[in-house]
Amino acid sequence: MSVDQATVRRVAHLARIAVRDEELGHLQNELNAILEFVEQLADLDVSGVEPLTGVVPMELPMRDDVVTDGHYPEKVLANAPDAEGGFFTVPKVVE
Amino acid sequence: MTNLTQLTLTEAREGLAEGEFTSVELTEAYLKAMADARHLNAYVLETPELALKMAKESDARIASGDAGRLEGIPLGIKDMFCTQGVRTTACSKILENFVPQYESAVTANLWRDGAVLLGKLNNDEFAMGSSNETSAFGAVVSPWRRDGDQAPLVPGGSSGGSAAAVAAYLCAGATGTDTGGSIRQPAAFTGTVGIKPTYGRCSRWGIVAFASSLDQAGPFARSVNDAALLLRSMAGYDAKDSTCVDRPVPDYQQAVGASIKGKKIGIPREYRMDGMSDEIDALWKEGAKWLEEAGAEIVDISLPHTKYALPAYYIVAPAEASSNLARYDGVRYGVRVPGKDVVEMYENTRAAGFGPEVRRRIMIGTYVLSAGYYDAYYLRAQKVRTLIKRDFDQAFAAGVDAVLTPATPSPAFGIGEKVKADPVEMYLNDVFTVTVNMAGLPGISVPAGLSADGLPLGLQLIGRPFEETTLFSLAEVIEEAAGRFPVEDLWWRG
């Protein structure tokens, strides 16, 4: 499988990365080189094989459903590029 | 006092305990060495004031008999570990101003045991790379050079700053992270010892996430015993990482020097790649011979799905990265680049903040997870991962205690040498290490010889889950037989 430039543009948008037109050709070649490399996995018969989701057999630990953290908004906001009045800000989303 | 920096961590620990020198003296010696080595670019942030404060506190604890296991030992920390109040960037522009409000579990364990923070070490951006050339802070220069040649070489990656700093005596030991070989490959390139423990052995809490099912922390050191001391402090249960395993941490130092008599060592035939250089092949045979002479039994084994590990990795790791790196959106931390609406702000922020390799991997990850491709790529890769792990499980079930392989297909290469090549060529550096992450196993890289042009070469030992002790015993045999490979020409000091 290989990707065309329209697909590169669509994937970049899905990934929320702005791409200039002049970058498309280069990115397309690089992505296709990687996709060509992983193509060899198609040679393998994986029917009846379970996908591996964890390497160490263990159950996800559970804890009581109680509040264990919080109450320090200044720490949470300390690295925000544009915090205001105790909130994160974003450009206006609704008109 | 000039040679304090060249002590092993084990020797420095003894010197501190015996009162031969203080932690402040040792720390000052390292700070001086760091200042003289800035053009190696191993550190991206030096923390001299904090280091001296921590060293003074260590000296007080040594004097009062309250010394911890690493009391007064100066360490460098890979910039993937969040350090409270100390800038942590993952060597990405997108986090150039990030100052964590919390401490990673692994570094907290090191400070609990008395270690001293010298500064933050360079790495490939978000740990994505095998040469440290993708760092927003620029490449790291290896302290090693080819015989009779001054061309600057890479220290490997992604933990290139850690490897270079340990080899160049700019810290007594360092932390690294390893997702596909990022500890073991740079250790091999710099003549240092690096171990990636079993998945779940160290907490991932507070480590900038790359591929969560593969990432593990581990140490870099100048000897096997040093690495054993560091891992003992770094490892341990942490409820804040749900994949961290609750089992006691052994005293790894006890395993260093223990007999390996009767241990069964597997030599996997699939690692004998086409075009493997004679010197790598000879080193591998030599390693097997050393282990055999120390009483181990060498057996040929087959790990038939080896060749599929790297392609499967380049689906799984980017997929997880695309998800993990979605958080860098210009809202909660890091750099923001404005746009006409919120989506354009995200897109501009991420285009400006991520370097080319990170963008490439996020896009591959996004593609393989996108509607219509998930089954063909991601699900298939996860199934291949099951087969890779099964290969190892079967070898261990047949009585194999550890697997011996080369650590890398070649010695270190020159800065800029592979940048122009297609990305896959760089990925091939991890061909011997990536299987270990895919199966979640522990792997250690130990220096075993020099190449024809005088560069270090490493061997890798892969163990059963949570059998790091066996790896330390075997690696010590190799270290004893091969000797250590310290950098002798400190050319960068001018």
B157-200 residue pLDDT tens: 999 999 999 999 999 999 999 999 999 999 999 999 999 999 99
CA dist., res. B405 & res. A64, Å (int):
45
CA dist., res. B358 & res. B127, Å (int):
9
Give the number of other CB atoms < 10 A from CB of residue B343: 14
- Displacement of CA B54 from its chain's centroid (Å): 25
For an interface test with B, which of A29, A39, A41, A60 has the most B Cβ atoms less than 10 Å from its Cβ?
A: A41
Complex ipTM, two decimals? 0.95
- Displacement of CA A16 from its chain's centroid (Å): 9
Letter for the amino acid at B188?
Answer: A
Q: What pLDDT band is residue A58 in, cutting at 50, 70 and 90? A: confident
Contacts of B47 (CB under 8 A, 6+ apart): B86, B117, B118, B119, B120
Determine whether the interchain pair A50/B383 forms a contact, defined as Cβ–Cβ distance below 8 Å: yes
Strands (E) in B244-397, as ranges, are 264-268, 297-301
Determine whether the interchain pair A17/B354 forms a contact, defined as Cβ–Cβ distance below 8 Å: yes
- Pick from B474, B430, B207, B211: nearest CA to B309: B430
Which of B333, B367, B376 is opposite residue A11, by nearest beta carbon?
Answer: B367
CA dist., res. B330 & res. B338, Å (int):
9
Q: Does B233 qualify as catalytic in the annotation?
A: no
Strand B193-196 and strand B443-450: the pairing is: antiparallel
- Pick from B346, B365, B83, B336: nearest CA to B210: B365
Are B404 and B285 in contact by the 8 Å Cβ rule? The answer is no
CA quadruple B326, B329, B334, B335: dihedral sign: positive
Which of B333, B336, B389 is opposite residue A52, by nearest beta carbon?
Answer: B389
Average pLDDT over residues A54-70: 87
Q: What pLDDT band is residue B202 in, cutting at 50, 70 and 90? A: very high
Helix (H) or strand (E) holding A22: helix A21-38
Tokens of B376: 């063909």
Q: What pLDDT band is residue A56 in, cutting at 50, 70 and 90? A: confident
- Pick from B125, B139, B70: nearest CA to B95: B125
Reduced to 3 states, what is the DSSP secondary structure of residue B56? helix
Determine whether the interchain pair A61/B331 forms a contact, defined as Cβ–Cβ distance below 8 Å: no
**Amino acid B1: pLDDT:** 43
| A&B contacts, CB < 8 Å | 165
Tokens of B335: 């750099």
- pTM higher than 0.95 for the full model? yes
In angstroms, the separation between the Cα of residue A93 and the nearest Cα of chain B is 7
Determine whether the interchain pair A78/B245 forms a contact, defined as Cβ–Cβ distance below 8 Å: no
In angstroms, the separation between the Cα of residue B314 and the nearest Cα of chain A is 7
CA dist., res. B349 & res. B362, Å (int):
14
